[in-house]
Amino acid sequence: MQRPVHRRALPALLAVAALVAAACGSSSSPAPVSSAAAPASVAPAASSSVTPAPAATAPRSAAAAASGATSATTLKVALVAPSAVNDLAFTQSMVEALNSIKARYNLQVAISDNQFVVSTAANVIRSYASQGYNLVIAHGSQYGSTLQQLAPQFPNVSFAWGTAGSTFNQPNIFAYQANSNEGGYVQGAMAAMLSTSKVLGVIGPIAVGDAKLYVDGFCAGAKSVDPTISCIPVYTGSFSDVSLFATAAKTFVSNKADVLTGTAQAVVGAIGVARADNLPWFGTQWTQVSLAPHNVVSSQIYNWAPILEQIITEIRGGKLGGATYTLTLGNGGETIQFNSGFNLPANVKAKADELIKGITDGSVNVPQ
Give alpha helix (H) positions in 29-169: 62-67, 90-101, 118-130, 144-150
Residue 197 neighbours by CB under 8 Å, 6+ apart: 256, 257, 258
3-state helix, strand, coil in the chain (%, to 5): 40, 15, 45
pLDDT band at 304 (very low <50, low <70, confident <90, very high): very high
pLDDT of residue 13: 43
More confident residue, 342 or 43: 342
Over 70: is that where the pLDDT of 16 sits? no
Tell me how far apart the alpha carbons of residues 242 and 260 are, in angstroms, rounded to a whole number. Answer: 15
Residue 138 reports pLDDT greater than 60: yes
Identity of the residue numbered 226: D
User: What CA–CA distance (Å, rounded) separates 264 from 338?
Assistant: 19
Band of pLDDT at residue 368, cut at 50, 70 and 90? confident
CATH superfamily of 180-302+333-361: Response regulator (3.40.50.2300)
> Domain spanning 62-177+305-326: which superfamily?
Response regulator (3.40.50.2300)
Counting DSSP H helices and E strands in the chain, the numbers are: 11, 13
What is the pLDDT averaged over residues 27-36?
34
> 49 CB contacts (<8 Å, ≥6 apart)?
none
Of 45-49, 69-73, 272-276, the one with minimum mean pLDDT is 45-49
User: What are the tens digits of pLDDT across the range 106-123?
Assistant: 999 999 999 989 999 999
Q: What value does the mean pLDDT take over residues 289-301?
A: 97
Distances (CA, A) of 290 to 11, 265, 272, 294, 357: 31, 14, 11, 9, 27
Tell which wins on pLDDT, 348 or 239.
Answer: 348
pLDDT of residue 17: 46
Overall average pLDDT of the 319-345 stretch: 97
Would you say 304 and 240 are in contact if contact means Cβ atoms under 8 Å apart? no
Average pLDDT across the chain, whole number: 85
Query: Does the pLDDT value for residue 57 go beyond 50?
Result: no
Domain residue ranges in the chain: 62-177+305-326, 180-302+333-361
Give the pLDDT confidence of 333-344 residue by residue, as tens digits.
999 999 999 999
Measured distance CA(102)–CA(131) in Å, rounded: 19
Query: For 47-51, 72-76, 84-88, 274-278, which range has the lowest pLDDT when averaged over its residues?
Result: 47-51
148 contacts 134 by C-beta, under 8 angstroms: no
**Per-residue model confidence (pLDDT) at position 361:** 96
Q: Which long-range contacts (CB under 8 A, 24 or more apart) does 269-275 make?
A: 269/241, 269/242, 269/243, 269/244, 269/245, 270/201, 270/203, 270/245, 270/246, 271/295, 271/296, 272/246, 273/246, 273/249, 274/249
pLDDT of residue 347: 98
Tell me, what's the pLDDT at 240? 86
β-pair partners for 176? 162, 325
Helix (H) or strand (E) holding 213: helix 209-225
How far is CA 100 from each of CA 66, 109, 306, 308, 355, rounded to the nearest angstrom? Answer: 20, 11, 10, 10, 29
Span 307-322, mean pLDDT?
97
Contact 78, 112 (CB under 8 A): yes
Which of the four pLDDT bands, split at 50, 70 and 90, describes residue 39? very low
The pTM of the full predicted model, rounded to 2 decimals, is: 0.80
- Looking at residue 108, its pLDDT comes to 97
* Confidence tier at 56 by pLDDT (50, 70, 90): very low
For the cut 90, the answer to whether the pLDDT of residue 8 exceeds it is: no
CA 9, chain centre distance (Å): 21
At 51, the pLDDT band (50, 70, 90 cuts) reads very low
What is the rounded radius of gyration, in angstroms, for the C-alpha atoms of the chain?
20
Q: Per-residue pLDDT tens for 160-176?
A: 999 888 999 999 999 99
Q: Do domains 62-177+305-326 and 180-302+333-361 have the same CATH topology?
A: yes
Please give the pLDDT value at position 300: 97
Decide the pairing of beta strands 259-262 and 173-178.
unpaired
